[in-house]
Amino acid sequence: MANLQAIGAWAFMLGVLIAILSGVIAVVVPGVAGYIPLLLVILGLVVGLVNITDKEIQAFLIAGIALLVVGIPNGGLLTQLDVVVNGLGTAFAKMLQAVAVFAAPAVLVVSLKAFYALSKLPPKGK
């Protein structure tokens, strides 16, 4: 079990790092990031499957929903960042989108786990 948790921890760290770097890469070298979303989805699935325990489900889902909402870029602030430094707002928008792509499959898996746990029949005798 410890090995699965280590894999999940590495998948999480790698996913966040790739998501952040992909925002910069997308601005500096457009068109290079073809397989990055697929990699982020796979890492998100790994995190959702092996990294979240029953005790962590509620907190993870709340944090995941927040990440997904933040991943929908708001044009106003990001446009202003582009005015200050050319490409900065675009880079942040791409980073937020990549984090959302990484978080979405993990949130889906964990929410399905929670849904299954809630839908199970209570043990006999209770």
Residue 126 lies in a domain: no
Residue 50 lies in a domain: yes
Q: What residues make up the domain containing 64?
A: 2-119
Residue 110 lies in a domain: yes
Residue 125 lies in a domain: no
Looking at the predicted structure, is the pLDDT value of residue 105 above 60? yes
**Burial degree of 19 (CB within 10 A; 0-12, 13-18, 19+):** buried
Q: How far apart are CA 120 and CA 34, in angstroms?
A: 40
pLDDT at position 78: 64
Reported as a single tens digit per residue, the pLDDT across 34-87 is: 778 888 899 999 989 988 888 889 999 998 888 777 766 665 666 666 666 777
Residue 7 lies in a domain: yes
Residue 43 lies in a domain: yes
Residue 124 lies in a domain: no
Reported as a single tens digit per residue, the pLDDT across 85-97 is: 777 777 777 788 8
- What the block records as the tokens of 24 is 């910069």
Number of domains in the chain: 1
**What's the pTM?**
0.77
pLDDT at position 108: 93
